[in-house]
């Protein structure tokens, strides 16, 4: 199912997705009923099925509308003073802040990226989803590559991918562990303390011009939290999401595109 083309269609999609988020918050991902979206959004079933063929379409779109790749370009335009070394950790810290603020988004992230979910979505949704996931990967890779080229990361060029993978796989594992709720808290510790200490350990396995500290990563997280307070809710929309359609490289995002 294609993304909406007109303002009227975007309005309907946003109303339906807002309803879906409310249903997920109230009933959980498994129990929320696809058909209830139209009633809660005061839309007809015709409008619902015009934009979403299934529950999987909705879950993918809920992820896309909330995903960090939508908001990171805006943050960087508003905070151009972030030092290049910290940008190597930026995507990981930004993602942690996002899921701490919205446990529902963390659940959406875990479920929608599961192949048992997204493979059942319509082709257009899958293509947009794949592009956005690759855009996130490129965001990680790009800042680490820039750090290596600027001799901030003191490793050979062939280590850039390894550093990227190391941070991404750490991030995926720790966020999923925090979200699951299965482990006793004594094994997880205080989430923010565990996250920042382990992320520093992951980064400091490699040679940098200056080692990372948990304190400076917390300061970055504080800036990101202030950004979310001001810019998140107003930009959580289909229109804002669509501005990145077709993009898989973060260096192709101009200031005009970033700010929507």
Residue 91 reports pLDDT greater than 90: yes
Q: What is the pLDDT of residues 154-184, one digit of tens each?
A: 999 999 999 999 999 999 999 999 988 889 9
Q: Are residues 244 and 115 in the same domain?
A: yes
Domains identified in the chain, total number: 2
CATH code where residue 4 lies: 1.10.10.60
Q: Are residues 79 and 163 in the same domain?
A: yes
Is 42 within 8 Å of 24 (Cβ atoms)?
Answer: no
Q: Are residues 118 and 181 in the same domain?
A: yes
Range of the domain at 19: 1-52
CA atoms of 133 and 64, how far apart (whole Å): 9
Q: What is the pLDDT of residues 186-231, one digit of tens each?
A: 999 999 999 999 999 999 999 999 999 999 999 999 999 999 999 9
Three-class HEC string of 71-89: HHHHHHHHCCCCCHHHHHH
* Selection from 140, 144, 142 nearest residue 206 by Cα: 144
pTM: 0.94
Q: Are residues 47 and 95 in the same domain?
A: no
Q: Are residues 138 and 238 in the same domain?
A: yes
Residue 153 forms beta bridges with which residues? 208
CA atoms of 34 and 165, how far apart (whole Å): 36
Q: Are residues 203 and 98 in the same domain?
A: yes
Three-class HEC string of 236-253: CCHHHHHCCCCCCCHHHC
Report how far apart, in Å, the C-alpha atoms of 186 and of each of 105, 179, 181, 190, 214 are.
24, 15, 12, 9, 21
Q: What is the pLDDT of residues 3-52, one digit of tens each?
A: 999 999 999 999 999 999 999 888 887 778 888 999 999 999 999 999 99
Q: Are residues 33 and 92 in the same domain?
A: no
Q: Are residues 131 and 155 in the same domain?
A: yes
Residue 15 region by backbone torsions, left for phi larger than 0, else alpha for psi between -120 and 50, else beta: alpha
Q: Are residues 94 and 127 in the same domain?
A: yes
Q: Are residues 38 and 64 in the same domain?
A: no
Q: Are residues 41 and 155 in the same domain?
A: no
Tokens of 48: 């619902």
Q: Are residues 152 and 75 in the same domain?
A: yes
């Amino acid at each position: 199912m294609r993304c909406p083309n007109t303002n009227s269609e975007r309005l309907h999609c946003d109303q339906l997705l807002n309803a879906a988020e409310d249903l997920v918050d109230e009933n959980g991902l498994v129990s929320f009923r696809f058909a209830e979206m139209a009633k809660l959004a005061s839309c007809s079933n015709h409008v619902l099925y015009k934009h979403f063929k299934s529950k999987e379409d909705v879950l993918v779109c809920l992820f896309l509308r909330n995903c960090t790749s939508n908001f990171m370009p805006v943050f960087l335009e508003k905070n151009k003073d972030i030092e290049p070394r910290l940008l190597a950790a930026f995507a990981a810290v930004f993602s942690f802040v996002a899921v701490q603020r919205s446990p529902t988004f963390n659940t959406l992230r875990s479920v929608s990226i599961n192949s048992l979910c997204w493979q059942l979505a319509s082709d257009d949704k899958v293509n947009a989803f794949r592009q956005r996931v690759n855009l996130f990967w490129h965001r990680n890779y790009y800042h680490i590559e820039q750090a290596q080229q600027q001799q901030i990361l003191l490793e050979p060029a062939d280590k850039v991918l390894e550093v990227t993978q190391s941070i991404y796989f750490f991030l995926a594992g720790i966020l999923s562990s925090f979200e699951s709720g299965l482990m006793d808290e004594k094994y997880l510790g205080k989430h923010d303390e565990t996250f920042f200490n382990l992320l520093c350990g992951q980064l400091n396995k490699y040679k940098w011009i200056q080692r990372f500290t948990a304190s400076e990563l917390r300061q970055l997280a504080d800036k990101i939290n202030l950004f979310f307070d001001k810019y998140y809710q107003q930009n959580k929309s289909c229109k804002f999401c669509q501005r990145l359609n077709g993009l898989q490289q973060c260096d192709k995002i101009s200031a005009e595109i970033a700010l929507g």
